[in-house]
Structure 1
């Protein structure tokens, strides 16, 4: 049994874990392992927004960012997903990952100007970037063999880890939690730069990407997931999308991953911005919407046992103020982190 925190990030613990040292989790889970030389990663979300049928400008923008990803300095890995937001707009989001900050910095500025530097008819564009130290970040996977998101750029996966299957495991897997409460500081502010709107968030903003992959399931398991679990998950995701601000969720997207040719795949993920890790923990532990999700998932897994083919994962980051960048052009005022500020009166 390994610790989720790698040896080179172990420090003297001044904040206790939620479980004793001899805790044995009831089932296996795994985390991504980076090379020790990787001290920071980049997660960059490039979004395009439009109503109804995708206009030509959206298709051109998506093709252009794909070309930039494939060019000099582009990400080690990227994927694309879409969803319809609370205002009825379709959002297509390309999530890109780097493990080399210098390479990202050289690539980013011209790419940023191309993406949000000029308006396009009928569409909005946005960029949301975190560049956290690895000590501010954790991952968790229910199975080996198919990394997703930021874990694709890691060196590999761990063996079975101890810190999971209990409330508080998410925090205990973040190396910084050994000594830091990761309390949020400050309030989000809106900065206008011509037509571009930037959001300056605050210290210890939290991001979670939590995914599901049912592509390996056979007919009966797929039906069980799509009929009994996914609708409950969607209900919770819709609550966070529409009413999450009252519990500290600034924005939530429940997205379907797109395969080659923009076909819908049998993968989805929720991506949400939170005021704090503590706010995310409170929702997970006690809010009725997540209690229902957890109950449906446990019933599903207890029914299938070890034969379950559903794959689950997540990545959670608690970012320092100087590790964040949010920029929006021609987007509606509840897009992403714009929802966290009173843009109408700013």
Structure 2
């Protein structure tokens, strides 16, 4: 069994894991492995926001960003998803991944100007970027063979890892947790640049993308997932979307992944911004909405056992202040990290 932390990122611990060295997880899980030369990754969310029927400006913007993704220095992988937020606005989010910051920097300036540099009638646009060092990032997969999100740009996957299936495993998989509490620092502030609104968020801001893929399930398993598990998951995601600020979740999007032709796939993911990893951990370990999600998932997995075809994954980042970029144009005031600024000023 491997450690989730790769050998070249292991260091002498001043903070201990939540489990003893001989801990044996009850089922296998896996993490993405980057080449040792990769010191930093980039995850960039490009969102377009509108109300009602899809305006021509939104369709045009989505085509433009897809074209930019395919250009020189574009991302090694990207995907697109849709959701309706708590204010009733449709949001289509294209998230792109790089393992080379220099390539991203060469690509980003003109893409940013195109996306948030000028207002298009009937739509808002936003950019949310993290560029964390690999010491500040972790992934987890329930099965091999189909990486998602940032793991697509990794060199491969690990064998069975030890640090999972217990509360605290998420933190223990982050290499920086060996020596740092990763506590939040500072307050979010708003910077106005003409019509653009930029948010400078707190240090050690936390991002999670947590996904579900039921495309391989057969009739009975699909019915069990969509009937018993997904509604409970949606309830928890809606709580974070509508009421998460009080527990440290600035914004939550429960999104349906879109195919190349723009139609919904049988994949979804929740993506949320948290004041800290500790706030995310508290919700996961003890809040009634997540306890209910966990209970439904455990009942599902214990019913199906190894025959379960549902694929689960997540990626978690704790980003330093200088690894973040948030910019919004013509978006409603509770979009994404704008909520963090509203919270500070309230």
Q: TM-score under structure 2 normalisation? A: 0.99
Which residue in the other structure is 1:239 paired with?
Answer: 239
Secondary structure of the residue aligned to 2:278 is helix
Q: 1:282 to 1:345 in 2, by over 3 A?
A: closer
Q: 1:231 to 1:87 in 2, by over 3 A?
A: same
The CA distance in 1 between the partners of 2:219 and 2:33, in whole Å, is 34
The CA distance in 2 between the partners of 1:121 and 1:104, in whole Å, is 28
Which residue in the other structure is 2:77 paired with?
Answer: 77
Which residue in the other structure is 1:211 paired with?
Answer: 211
The CA distance in 2 between the partners of 1:267 and 1:80, in whole Å, is 11
Q: How many residues align?
A: 346
Which residue in the other structure is 2:328 paired with?
Answer: 328
Tell me, yes or no, if structure 1 residue 262 matches structure 2 residue 256. no
The CA distance in 2 between the partners of 1:286 and 1:336, in whole Å, is 24
Secondary structure of the residue aligned to 1:244 is helix
Deviation of 1:342 (Å): 2.2
The CA distance in 2 between the partners of 1:36 and 1:291, in whole Å, is 37
Tell me, yes or no, if structure 1 residue 190 matches structure 2 residue 190. yes
The CA distance in 2 between the partners of 1:328 and 1:343, in whole Å, is 17
Segments of 5+ residues of structure 2 without an aligned counterpart are none
The CA distance in 2 between the partners of 1:330 and 1:345, in whole Å, is 20
Check conservation: 1:138, 1:317, Cα contact below 8 A.
yes
Deviation of 1:71 (Å): 0.3
Q: 1:343 to 1:193 in 2, by over 3 A?
A: farther
Which residue in the other structure is 1:67 paired with?
Answer: 67
Deviation of 1:345 (Å): 6.7
Deviation of 1:344 (Å): 11
Secondary structure of the residue aligned to 1:342 is helix
The CA distance in 1 between the partners of 2:267 and 2:29, in whole Å, is 19
Tell me, yes or no, if structure 1 residue 90 matches structure 2 residue 69. no
Secondary structure of the residue aligned to 1:260 is coil
Q: TM-score under structure 1 normalisation? A: 0.99
Check conservation: 2:49, 2:89, Cα contact below 8 A.
yes
Which residue in the other structure is 1:147 paired with?
Answer: 147
Q: 1:344 to 1:209 in 2, by over 3 A?
A: closer
Matches within 5 A, 1:26-37: 26-37=26-37
Check conservation: 1:77, 1:97, Cα contact below 8 A.
yes
Check conservation: 1:333, 1:343, Cα contact below 8 A.
no
The CA distance in 1 between the partners of 2:131 and 2:301, in whole Å, is 35
Check conservation: 2:251, 2:339, Cα contact below 8 A.
yes
Check conservation: 2:187, 2:344, Cα contact below 8 A.
no
Check conservation: 2:188, 2:344, Cα contact below 8 A.
no
Check conservation: 1:86, 1:242, Cα contact below 8 A.
yes
Secondary structure of the residue aligned to 1:63 is helix
Which residue in the other structure is 1:13 paired with?
Answer: 13
The CA distance in 2 between the partners of 1:167 and 1:103, in whole Å, is 37
Check conservation: 1:190, 1:343, Cα contact below 8 A.
no
Matches within 5 A, 1:1-346: 1-342=1-342
The CA distance in 2 between the partners of 1:342 and 1:234, in whole Å, is 25
The CA distance in 2 between the partners of 1:22 and 1:181, in whole Å, is 23
Check conservation: 1:251, 1:274, Cα contact below 8 A.
yes
What's the C-alpha RMSD, in Å, of the aligned pairs?
1.0
The CA distance in 1 between the partners of 2:99 and 2:227, in whole Å, is 38
Deviation of 1:67 (Å): 0.1
Deviation of 1:187 (Å): 1.0
